[in-house]
Amino acid sequence: MINTKINFCGVDFKNPIVTASGTFGFGMEYNQIVPIEEYGGFGAKGLTRYPREGNKPPRIAETPSGILNSVGLQNPGVEYFAENIMPVLSDYDTNVIANMSGNTVEEYCEMAQILSDTDVSLIEMNISCPNVKHGGLAFGTDSKVVNELTKEVKKYCKKPLVVKLSPNVTSIAEIAKAAEDGGADALSLINTLLGMKIDINTRRPVLKNNTGGLSGPAVKPVAVRMICEVHNAVNLPIIGMGGVMNGADVIEMMLAGASLVALGTGLFAKPDLIIQVKQEIEEYMQKNNIDNINTLIGAAVMN
C-alpha cells in the first residue's frame, strides 16, 4: 500500500496534486472531463473585492514552451463567490483553495474576512498585484510591504493563509522570510514571470496590455530553483507550481521542497493531465520502494 496523503496546515489532502489559480476556473468546466474529486484540492480562479472584466484581448500569446497571459483577473468578485459558487463546491470531496488579489491592504483584509466565513480549506493571497497606494509597485516585490500586509491580513484570516510569491524579485528567500515573520501559514510559488512578445510585422506587442505573465514548461527550472531556496530559508510548507507537465515534474518539485504541487498551464494542453500524473507518481513510488509520499518533500541532496 502506498500513501499519497498529505497533511497541509492541518488540512488533509488525499494526494499532493492541486491546480494553479486562474488555470482551472471554479472547477466546474473541468469537472465534465475529469471529476474534480481526483485532485487533493484545487486552486480557484483569482478573486478581487469587486467584480472585474479583465483586460482587453488579445490576452494570451503562445511562446516557446509556454504562454504569456494578461487576463487581468476577470472574475465575479469575492461576495458572488462566497454566496453562489462556494456553496456548490462544498458538496465535492476535495479541498478548495480560494485565491485573492487586492489593490490595497484594506481590500485584502476584507476578502480574507469574507472567505473565512466560507468552506474554503485554504486562502491563497496573490501578492503579484499593484499596490495602488504606492505607485502601483507590486506588493510582492518589497519585503517590508509583504511583512506588513501579511501581518494585517492575518488579523482577519481565520483559515490557513498561503502567501503566493512573485518570482519577479532579486531574492525570493528574503520575501519568503518576510511573509513567514508576518505570520503566513504556508507559501506558494511561483507566480508568472513578467514577459513581452513583439510582432515583428506590426512592431507592436502581441498582448493588448503590452506585457504579460510567462508560464508553462519554460519557467519550470526557475520554479524548482526558487522552491529549493525558499524551502531552505523558511519553516513553512510550500505549494510548488510552474510548468508542471507530468508526474516526474511533480516529484522534482516535491524533492525541491514542495508539499503540494499544482498543475496550471499544462492543463491547457491536456485537460485530463491529473490522471496521467497520478499514475506516473504511483509508478515512480512503486519502482523506488517509496511507501509514503511525504518522504520526498525536500529530499533533494545538494552537490
Q: Is 129 a catalytic residue?
A: yes
Report the residue number, 126 or 147, with the smaller CB distance to ligand FMN: 126
CB of 83 to ligand FMN, least distance (A): 20
Restricting to residues 176-235, name those near ligand FMN by CB under 6 A: 191-192, 215-216, 219
Q: Residue with the closest Cβ to ligand FMN?
A: 22
The alpha carbons of the chain give a radius of gyration, in whole angstroms, of 18
Q: Quickly tell me which residue has 469575492 as its cell.
A: 78
Report the residue number, 99 or 259, with the smaller CB distance to ligand FMN: 99
Options 239, 244, 250, 274; binder of ligand FMN; rule CB under 6 A: 244
Strands 204-205 and 161-164 turn out to be unpaired
CA–CA separation, 168 vs 212, rounded Å? 12
CA–CA separation, 40 vs 252, rounded Å? 18
Restricting to residues 88-117, name those near ligand FMN by CB under 6 A: 99
All residues at 6 or more sequence positions from 160 whose CB lies less than 8 Å from its CB, including other chains: 8, 9, 10, 11, 121, 122, 123, 185, 186
Report the residue number, 182 or 240, with the smaller CB distance to ligand FMN: 240
Show the DSSP H helices in 117-198 as ranges: 143-154, 172-181
Binding mask 6-25 for ligand FMN (x = CB under 6 A): --------------xxxx--
Phi, psi of 122 (to 5 degrees): -135, 155
Count of beta carbons in the 10 Å neighbourhood of residue 217: 18
Report the residue number, 20 or 157, with the smaller CB distance to ligand FMN: 20
- The strand ranges marked E within 59-180 are 60-63, 66-69, 95-101, 122-126, 161-164
Binding mask 250-269 for ligand FMN (x = CB under 6 A): --------------xxx---
Report the residue number, 109 or 241, with the smaller CB distance to ligand FMN: 241
Q: Which stretch binds ligand FMN (CB under 6 A): 88-96, 149-157, 237-245, 288-296?
A: 237-245
Report the residue number, 23 or 94, with the smaller CB distance to ligand FMN: 23
Q: Which stretch binds ligand FMN (CB under 6 A): 32-40, 65-73, 144-152, 284-292?
A: 65-73
Q: Which stretch binds ligand FMN (CB under 6 A): 112-120, 178-186, 203-211, 242-250?
A: 242-250
Phi, psi of 79 (to 5 degrees): -70, -40
- The grid coordinates of residue 145 equal 510591504
Binding mask 152-171 for ligand FMN (x = CB under 6 A): ------------x-------
All residues at 6 or more sequence positions from 238 whose CB lies less than 8 Å from its CB, including other chains: 186, 187, 188, 189, 227, 230, 231, 257, 258, 259, 260
- The catalytic site residues sit at 129
Binding site for ligand FMN (CB under 6 A): 20-23, 45-46, 69, 71, 73, 99, 126, 164, 191-192, 215-216, 219, 241-244, 264-266
